[in-house]
Structure 1
């Protein structure tokens, strides 16, 4: 299968590229390295170093003629979205529209879109399922949700298939400590350099952490399944930040006293996502426990720092 991955040098998408190549697909990458890292580029994939907003994207689609587009290129930081909502909307909303126009004119069969749990806002009930109201607390949540509507209408008007995946807090190898949902990579960095981890809030806020390799398999499943569906990709497990710190201490054999700061604007207190629809319709389920994923991630970064 001929697959184009936007943001293919980034944390999640670079793992997707590796898996696609491993499965024998023909893979192309669009990435301008605003978030991605050239070291993550799979040498068997074709790289186009541009933004999804650049005019050259027309020529690239004409050359590649992808059957499926997996769309991860985005502005990914919640706090940046609050400081610069115009930048956030320009990349996440207008960039996606430009991509959809290419999909329409170049005959793309399907788009797989990486959305976020940030679209839900403060949960009215837990776990949050796909029927939960959408009421984001940040411009990032708005700019990740709005393309969902454009994708749905493009599909309605032009017949293109799609699958929308709403990720919980993804973590794992290659994650930048500054990225959205990057509390685990931030803690990892603090622990390995001997710095006290910073916690925003009292540490009793909860998140649903899912390992990047499980997210990869959800995207692979979506190549052929999940037609015109929206799916939570999560572990369906609540973990407090304080519990997460305890797991880090056990892994590292060290104990650090966290520094607690006031909660940040746009942060949600409690969140975890119901993944039962994805398990049913995609034939997918998370394999990695938090302990297993943390162990693999910790060993990777421990070797880098040592």
Structure 2
């Protein structure tokens, strides 16, 4: 199928684009910047999600559209409510409208388990609003959808907006990890490659007009995760717990009553979290050494077959 991935230059979107390509789909990526992970048989469309004409052009010929474009850091969203609304909500509506006009077969949306929660601030609110618009586009215009509610992701291609990446980088560079809270918080972490595979599995007909949870198979306490990281680094780091400044993150569960419940999809195989953490640590360690030995910032090479600006 011809599939356009909005936000395909980013952390999760780039991995999903890779899986789509590996399964034989023709992939076009739309984002504000060219993807450093672009494969030579993928197309790259550079544009702004708030530019209606650019979005419409990117949707032409697509049978399926994925939308991963979002201001996704909860703490950042607290400080930037207007931009969060513009990018997350209005940007998504632009893509929905383009999908409707171009008669796209299915719209796949990257949501969050925070839609169930009272936490999550403007980020949660933006995802809830998007889900309502998507449901109404299906009822009124017949635009089919699949909503993916992601749990906590980790893996390569993340940056400091991702908590796992941030603490591993801090551990290597500062020999310590700081965490707001007492470590009793529970999370269901899933490696981004596992999440990406499941994000493509949902193209199966059984997930049409469904809401799907994509998260890890097992819960882990934050304090246990930090101890595991400390042991991996030969106990050569300090762990410091700090008072919570803002209560925008859930502690035990994001779930409160919501009538639009979702099905959790699970794969047959999952990458062990310890192995996943070691992989990131190795990458960050090499990056740290390279940065020490060179004043030049690391550059990402793009193997783009086509890179052009959408106007």
Establish whether TM, by shorter chain, passes 0.5.
Answer: yes
Q: Is the 8 A contact 2:150 2:215 kept in 1?
A: yes
Map 1:98-177; keep pairs closer than 5 Å: 98-121=94-117, 135-177=118-160
Q: Is the 8 A contact 1:168 1:272 kept in 2?
A: no
Select 1:301's aligned residue among 274, 284, 308: 284
Structure 2 residues without counterparts, runs of 5 or longer: 256-260, 290-311
SS across alignment from 1:258: strand
Report what 1:22 is aligned to: 22
Residues 1:246 and 2:227 aligned together: yes
Work out which structure has the larger RCO, using CA pairs closer than 8 Å and 6 or more positions apart in sequence: 2
Structure 1 residues without counterparts, runs of 5 or longer: 122-134
Report what 1:228 is aligned to: 209
Runs of 4+ in structure 1 deviating by more than 4 angstroms, as ranges, are none
Structure 1 residues 255, 103: closer, same or farther in 2, change over 3 A? same
SS across alignment from 2:36: helix
Q: Is the 8 A contact 1:10 1:40 kept in 2?
A: no
Q: Is the 8 A contact 1:198 1:261 kept in 2?
A: yes
Q: Is the 8 A contact 1:170 1:211 kept in 2?
A: yes
Give the TM-score normalised by the residue count of structure 2. 0.84
Q: Is the 8 A contact 2:74 2:120 kept in 1?
A: no
Report what 1:269 is aligned to: 251
Report what 1:72 is aligned to: 68
Q: Is the 8 A contact 2:175 2:238 kept in 1?
A: no
* Counterparts of 1:287 and 1:155, CA distance in 2: 33
Q: How many residues align?
A: 282
* Counterparts of 2:89 and 2:191, CA distance in 1: 26
Report the RMSD for the aligned CA atoms in angstroms. Answer: 2.1
Structure 1 residue 29: deviation in Å?
Answer: 0.8
Q: Is the 8 A contact 1:207 1:272 kept in 2?
A: no
* Counterparts of 1:70 and 1:108, CA distance in 2: 11
